[in-house]
Amino acid sequence: MPYTDLPVGHPAGLARLPEEPGDFDAFWAGTLRRSRDVGGEPVLTPVTDTELVTVDVYDVRFPGWEGQPVAGWLVVPSEAEGPSPTVITYIGYGGGRGLPTDHLLYASAGYAHLVVDSRGQGHDTPDAHAGTGTQWVNGFMTRGIEDPHEHYYRRLITDCVRAVDAARLLPHVDAARIAVQGASQGGGLALAVAGLAGRTVAAALPDVPFLCHMRRGAETATEGPYTELVHHLRHDPRRDPARVFATLGYFDGVHFAARATAPALFSAGLMDPVCPPSTVHAAFDRYAGEKYLREWPFADHGGGRGATAAEHLRWLRGRGLAPAARRT
């Protein structure tokens, strides 16, 4: 596979960034208010059949879009004393929260770790509102594509912001030290939350983020969810691409990045056919806070793979999010 669209260290250099909707801020203020006004608090239930001895696991249910329950796992070090710095993880496209044993890294390093299920993608958080659009088997990109108020990502991003609201109420969580993290779709969601949740987020870790400069992604990606947009527009050439991308403008990471101020560590694979590096650079260049970009020159959509974990932990500690104290 050749390099995609950026050499090592080259700025995105895109002359045409996605157009920001004029009512972007009002749209999201109203969206979040609509769900927060419903109220509700998270519910924790201990999970005792994991066979794990160094971490404690809780099933979490918290109110998301319009108060609908969203599932999650909370994994915490068994020996932690008091509230801990916390990582909230959002999941990649087509996946859900999985099993607690899938998520041991951050708790093993001393952090409380909240893993958020993706509505309609995981098994534990349904999305009854499928919306309209050309549907691929498990595709979500065109659900509600004719109207941003009906689009799937309005609901999912709201869930992800409400996960921060819920985490701040948990006794295990240091509310002043919450980082948001994810890869691919999860990275795009972390970026959206960093832009919408403001100072309640202390750090962001968007790896190979999806949902950034989505028109560019549709024009250049050769694999993955951006190709759903190509299929949608190709299926009926009478559809107006401008209308499609006007809807997606409300969910584009480039616009969230311009509103995010928490320190952020991005990553990009420079041979990524799913989220081409220019789309990541477009969001990185607009990011308003302290920012760093780790480029992996020969990486595909896997980015730095296992090497990413150690970089995350070192970087978080350098931002003042040290692990929780241990009992002696």
Is 300 in the active site? no
User: Sign of torsion, CA 318 110 41 131?
Assistant: positive
DSSP string, 124-140: SS------SSPPPTT--
Is 49 in the active site? no
What tokens appear for 38 in the block?
């419903």
Catalytic, out of 117, 174, 272, 300: 272
What tokens appear for 311 in the block?
């970089």
The angle at the Cα of 207, spanning 185 to 216, to the nearest 5 degrees, equals 60
Helix (H, G, I), strand (E, B) or coil at 61: strand
DSSP string, 149-214: TT-HHHHHHHHHHHHHHHHTTSTTEEEEEEEEEEETHHHHHHHHHHHHSGGG--EEEEES-SSSSH
Catalytic, out of 84, 184, 267, 278: 184
Is 56 in the active site? no
Full strand arrangement of the beta sheet holding 173-183: 43-47, 55-63, 69-77, 112-116, 84-90, 173-183, 203-207, 264-269, 291-296
> Under a CB-based contact definition with an 8 Å cutoff, are residues 84 and 174 in contact?
yes
What dihedral angle (degrees, nearest 10) is formed by the CA atoms of 44, 123, 95, 25? -70
Catalytic, out of 103, 113, 213, 301: 301
DSSP annotation of 74: E
Residues known to be catalytic: 184, 272, 301
